[in-house]
C-alpha cells in the first residue's frame, strides 16, 4: 500500500492546473479537467482521479489534439444542443453545453446535448450529477475503443461503453450510477496483469476467442460485456447513441483515430436531461423517494453512497492522495 497524505482540495486543483498549464493546455480546458480529476479523487473514485494526470501528456501529444480548444454551444432546436470539443478534452465542452441543456429541459421537458470530437478521460458521473443538481434527471453515455466483443462473438467491436444516470433528491445527494457495460473494467484487468493475478473466466477472451483467466490474453484479445446477451445489447445501444446518433465516431473509428498515440479515446458523448416536473408533476419526487425507501428498509446501498461518504470525509480532512503519485506529478512539471 502506498503512503497517503491528505491535501486540501484547492491545493490539489492548483497542482493539477500547474501540471496541465506547464504542458501548454489553455486556461479553460485546464480549469475544467483539473476540477473533474480532483472531484473523482475527492470521492475516492481513484481510477478516474489524479492518476490520470500523467497520461494526459499522451493525449496532448496526439497529432490532432488541440490545446487551444474553445468550444461554444450551438442550439439546433428547442430541445437539442450540439457542442464541438474541437479535439480538446471533452469535459470542457460538456460543462459549457450543460447550462443550455438544462435550460432546454426546463423549457420543453427534455433536452439532448451532443458533445462531439472530444478526448475523453474523465468519469461521466460528474456531468449527470450536475444535471441532477439543477433538479433534472440526467443520463449520459459514450463509446470508447473497440476492445469489447458482442455476446456470441470473439473480436472487439464495441467500446467499454459507460452509462451514467442521476435522479435529483432535493436536499439529499442525487441517486447516481455510472458503470462500464463490460464484465470488468480495463483498468482492473490491467491491475491483475501487473500483480500477476488470474482473472475470472467471464471477463474476456484470448485472441483465438476462448475464455481465459490470463489478464494479458484478454488485453490482447477481447473483453466481454457484463450480463450476457442483455449487457451486450445495452452496450450496442450505447455505441449507437453515443456515436452514430450524434454524428460521431464508433469505437472502432475512435480506436483507428488514435494512430498509436495511446491517447484517451476521442469520440462523442450524449447527455440527456429530463424534467420530472413537466411530465410527472410534483408527485414524481415523492414516488421516487418511496423506491429509495424500499432500498433503505432492507439496508441496500445506493450506487453513489460510498462516493458521498468519501466526499464528506475529504471535506473534513482533506483529499487522500498517494505520496508517490504526488511526487510523480510534481516531477513531470518542467
For its own copies, the binding residues in 67-126 under the rule CB under 8 A are 76-80, 82, 107-112, 114
Query: Is there a catalytic annotation at residue 188?
Result: yes
Interaction between residue 200 and its own copies (CB under 8 A): no
- When the beta carbons of 44 and 109 are compared against its own copies, the nearer one is 109
Give the other-Cβ count within 10 Å of 262's Cβ. 11
Choose the catalytic residue: 23, 58, 185, 188: 188
DSSP secondary structure code for residue 299 in this structure: T
Choose the catalytic residue: 45, 48, 254, 267: 48
- The sign of the dihedral angle between the CA atoms of 70, 71, 73, 74 is positive
Query: Is there a catalytic annotation at residue 70?
Result: no
- When the beta carbons of 233 and 320 are compared against its own copies, the nearer one is 233
* Cell numbers that stand for 112 in this block: 439532448
* Residues between 266 and 285 that touch its own copies (CB under 8 A): 272, 274, 276, 278-281, 283-285
Residue among 5, 207, 291, 323 that touches its own copies (CB under 8 A): 291
- When the beta carbons of 50 and 139 are compared against its own copies, the nearer one is 139
* Cell numbers that stand for 79 in this block: 430541445
Residue 319 in contact with residue 8, Cβ under 8 Å? yes
Interaction between residue 313 and its own copies (CB under 8 A): no
Bridge-based pairing state of the strands 266-274 and 222-223:
unpaired
Query: Is there a catalytic annotation at residue 267?
Result: no
Interaction between residue 239 and its own copies (CB under 8 A): yes
Q: Give the DSSP per-residue string, 267-290.
A: EEEEEEEE-HHHHT-THHHHHHHH
- When the beta carbons of 6 and 155 are compared against its own copies, the nearer one is 155
CB of 54 to its own copies, least distance (A): 29
Residue among 23, 227, 308, 326 that touches its own copies (CB under 8 A): 227
CA distance 69 to 174: 31
Interaction between residue 294 and its own copies (CB under 8 A): yes
Q: Give the DSSP per-residue string, 132-193.
A: HHTTSEEEEE----S-BPPTT--S--B----EEEEEEETTEEEEEEEE-SBSS-HHHHHHHH
- The sign of the dihedral angle between the CA atoms of 271, 275, 276, 278 is negative
Q: Which stretch binds its own copies (CB under 8 A): 33-41, 190-198, 211-219, 241-249?
A: 241-249
CB of 234 to its own copies, least distance (A): 7
Choose the catalytic residue: 47, 77, 256, 305: 47
Q: Which residues, including other chains, have CB under 8 Å from residue 333's CB and lie 6 or more apart?
A: 18, 19, 22
Residue among 243, 263, 307, 322 that touches its own copies (CB under 8 A): 243
* Residues between 170 and 199 that touch its own copies (CB under 8 A): 175, 177, 179, 181
- By rule CB under 8 A, what string of x and - marks binding of each residue 123-142 to its own copies? --------------x-x---
Residue among 288, 320, 326, 332 that touches its own copies (CB under 8 A): 288
Q: Which stretch binds its own copies (CB under 8 A): 12-20, 56-64, 188-196, 239-247?
A: 239-247
Alpha-helical runs (H) found in the chain? 9-22, 27-42, 56-60, 90-108, 125-133, 186-194, 215-220, 228-242, 251-258, 276-279, 283-296, 305-317, 323-331
Bridge-based pairing state of the strands 137-141 and 110-119:
unpaired
Point out the residues that are catalytic: 47-48, 188
Amino acid at each position: 500500500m502506498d503512503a497517503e497524505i491528505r491535501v486540501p482540495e484547492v491545493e490539489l486543483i492548483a497542482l493539477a492546473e500547474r501540471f496541465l498549464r506547464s504542458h501548454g493546455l489553455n486556461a479553460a480546458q485546464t480549469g475544467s479537467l483539473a476540477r473533474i480529476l480532483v472531484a473523482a479523487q475527492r470521492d475516492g473514485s481513484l481510477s478516474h482521479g489524479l492518476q490520470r494526470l500523467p497520461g494526459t501528456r499522451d493525449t496532448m501529444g496526439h497529432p490532432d489534439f488541440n490545446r487551444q480548444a474553445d468550444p461554444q454551444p450551438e442550439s439546433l432546436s428547442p430541445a437539442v444542443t450540439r457542442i464541438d470539443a474541437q479535439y480538446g478534452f471533452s469535459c470542457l465542452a460538456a460543462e459549457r453545453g450543460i447550462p443550455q441543456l438544462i435550460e432546454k429541459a426546463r423549457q420543453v421537458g427534455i433536452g439532448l446535448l451532443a458533445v462531439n470530437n472530444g478526448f475523453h478521460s474523465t468519469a461521466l458521473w460528474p456531468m449527470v450529477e450536475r444535471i441532477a443538481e439543477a433538479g433534472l434527471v440526467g443520463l449520459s453515455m459514450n463509446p470508447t475503443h473497440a476492445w469489447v466483443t458482442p455476446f456470441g462473438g470473439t473480436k472487439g467491436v464495441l467500446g467499454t461503453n459507460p452509462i451514467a444516470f442521476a435522479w435529483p433528491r432535493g436536499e439529499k445527494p442525487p441517486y447516481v450510477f455510472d458503470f462500464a457495460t463490460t464484465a470488468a473494467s480495463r483498468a482492473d484487468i490491467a491491475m491483475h496483469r501487473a500483480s500477476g493475478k488470474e482473472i475470472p473466466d467471464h471477463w474476456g477472451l484470448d485472441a483465438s476467442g476462448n475464455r481465459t483467466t490470463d489478464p494479458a490474453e484478454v488485453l490482447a484479445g477481447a473483453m466481454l460485456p457484463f450480463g450476457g446477451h442483455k449487457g451486450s445489447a445495452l452496450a450496442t445501444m450505447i455505441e449507437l447513441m453515443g456515436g452514430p446518433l450524434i454524428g460521431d465516431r464508433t469505437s472502432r473509428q475512435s480506436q483507428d483515430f488514435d494512430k498509436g498515440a495511446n491517447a484517451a479515446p476521442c469520440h462523442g458523448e450524449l447527455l440527456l436531461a429530463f424534467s420530472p416536473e413537466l411530465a410527472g408533476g410534483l408527485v414524481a419526487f415523492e414516488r421516487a423517494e418511496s423506491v429509495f425507501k424500499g432500498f433503505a428498509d432492507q439496508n441496500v446501498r445506493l450506487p453513489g453512497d460510498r462516493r458521498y461518504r468519501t466526499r464528506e470525509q475529504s471535506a473534513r480532512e482533506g483529499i487522500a492522495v498517494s505520496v508517490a503519485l504526488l511526487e510523480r506529478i510534481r516531477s513531470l512539471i518542467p
